[in-house]
Structure 1
């Protein structure tokens, strides 16, 4: 419209949001059962102060006088908002205009990808750009530096269209380092991803994942599992032909991953196992992930990478930051085998080797090549050590 000034219009305050929602539900319904007023507050909260959602969902519930209907609506809005008919019919198509107005498919893919994180998650800009690179969204650049610059430009573009917003994180007084998605925009992103056959599954408070559940992932492209109690019990190999991305984050119980899981997902390109502080080892079957481009083991207790990691010749990003172990042992020959590696980040690591100066030199040359172009986040030379057997 040629506006000379731009300013942020915040969502409605909590009291005003509830008042708007109640107006659209109507007093007859609110007074029809003693439980409904409290349930209405929960439904209104799921609309996250967005007037469009408050009006639409309020009108949809205007004839619902049975508490069970309200509980069902709450469960749907919390877990699968796109299954709520009015969301897909009125709310998402209206919000979609901002998505459709993005200048190219790269921006659209990057926006949809942000919904792989849980609700209200503060997303690190650096982590997000690394993941976009791993996902091949930024492949049209000659080097990692240019891809990172493009990633920063995309984040700013999504913020300018209000599809992302800056996020204040504890101990950080500015917004440049983190972003987050509005809950309703995140729901819309899941709806759009499903529409484009690029489905994203996000599960919080995850418990035991069994073979039967993984068997239902056959059409899922990206899976994100968050929770203290995440574990796997996979007794039989399960085929997931579309699966490209797995996040397993924040488990206190996870000590290893079953090899059968990796044998089931040859299409995997991103594996994020960060912040599993009791994860101690990787199965040798990780070598079967020959398409893997991004591997994050930061904040885990893994102290010995299996030699089979050398099979991951497509790997571009390997992250071993803030490891719980005193040392991370990398078998000699692994780094030099990772011919596509462009970003390596670690606090301290060791090479386990026999006395083989030729291989030592090859490893050093590979690491120096990476650091020479400024692609790592920590210096290599002060912490490089060899463990001679």
Structure 2
């Protein structure tokens, strides 16, 4: 059955968003500890006024009466927001035109990956809350990416290849997404021309 009319759901202002979030969390939980209401407002704020996020997260927090659980939720929402920004810029969340709307799709993806143990919460690293892939899953992702690399020039992945110098620049000039991270490359001796480049990872060298 097809929709006869598409209706755009606008983001709520701060007051309306808080009211919707309160309705889904419930007064019993909000009043269970003196600090929870203030933390709940921070969680609601990080939902960006998105009704679906406010309802879903509000219901998920309805039974959370421990302050630490609310602080953890705030940290996880910060992680998710950063990932959404990266994914949106990469064009991976292409169902929406605005990053605030793409967060709905991204939240669902992150939750699914965490629930399936394809992502792990790894706490605070370098002052930022992080998630990571298990080493086996990461290796599999690299293997899949390298298969694309063999048939398309969009990917050039040499992460963790124990390189001491950069590969021949001509080999990666046509790449859109390039990863040379986790090697031992001290400097790039040549300046590659990459007109199609969208992503370049050089960290941990």
- So what's the TM-score if we normalise by structure 1? 0.33
> RMSD in angstroms over aligned alpha carbons?
5.0
TM alignment of 1:232-243, pairs within 5 A: 241-243=139-141
* Alignment match, 1:62: 62
> Helix, strand or coil: the match of 2:34?
coil
Q: Distance in 1 between matches of 2:115 and 2:98?
A: 27
Uncovered stretches (5+) of structure 2, i.e. residues with no partner:
158-163, 177-187, 198-205
1:184 to 104, 109, 131: 104
TM alignment of 1:45-60, pairs within 5 A: 45-60=45-60
1:219 to 136, 141, 145: 136
Could you say which structure has the higher helix fraction?
Answer: 2
Q: Distance in 2 between matches of 1:69 and 1:18?
A: 19
Larger Cα Rg: Structure 1 or Structure 2?
1
How far off its partner does 1:68 sit? 2.4
How far off its partner does 1:19 sit? 0.7
Query: Contact 1:12–1:51 (CA<8 Å) still a contact in 2?
Result: yes
> Helix, strand or coil: the match of 1:42?
helix
TM alignment of 1:188-267, pairs within 5 A: 188-192=108-112, 199=118, 207=126, 217-221=134-138, 241-244=139-142
* Alignment match, 2:37: 37
> Helix, strand or coil: the match of 1:329?
coil
Query: Contact 1:119–1:183 (CA<8 Å) still a contact in 2?
Result: yes
> Helix, strand or coil: the match of 1:220?
helix
* Alignment match, 2:190: 329
Provide closer, same or farther for how the CA distance between residues 310 and 31 of structure 1 changes in structure 2, counting only shifts above 3 A. closer
Provide closer, same or farther for how the CA distance between residues 219 and 44 of structure 1 changes in structure 2, counting only shifts above 3 A. farther
Q: Distance in 2 between matches of 1:290 and 1:7?
A: 43
Q: Does 1:345 align with 2:179?
A: no
Q: Distance in 2 between matches of 1:202 and 1:72?
A: 11
How far off its partner does 1:200 sit? 6.2
How far off its partner does 1:78 sit? 4.1
Q: Does 1:9 align with 2:14?
A: no
Deviations 1:148-180 (A, max 9, x none): xxxxxxx8xx4xxxx32246xxxxxxxxxxxx7
Query: Contact 2:113–2:119 (CA<8 Å) still a contact in 1?
Result: yes
Provide closer, same or farther for how the CA distance between residues 72 and 17 of structure 1 changes in structure 2, counting only shifts above 3 A. same
- So what's the TM-score if we normalise by structure 2? 0.55
Uncovered stretches (5+) of structure 1, i.e. residues with no partner:
81-114, 133-154, 168-179, 222-240, 245-265, 271-288, 297-304, 320-326, 336-343, 347-375, 378-389
How far off its partner does 1:67 sit? 1.9
Q: Distance in 2 between matches of 1:48 and 1:207?
A: 26
> Helix, strand or coil: the match of 1:23?
helix
* Alignment match, 1:309: 167
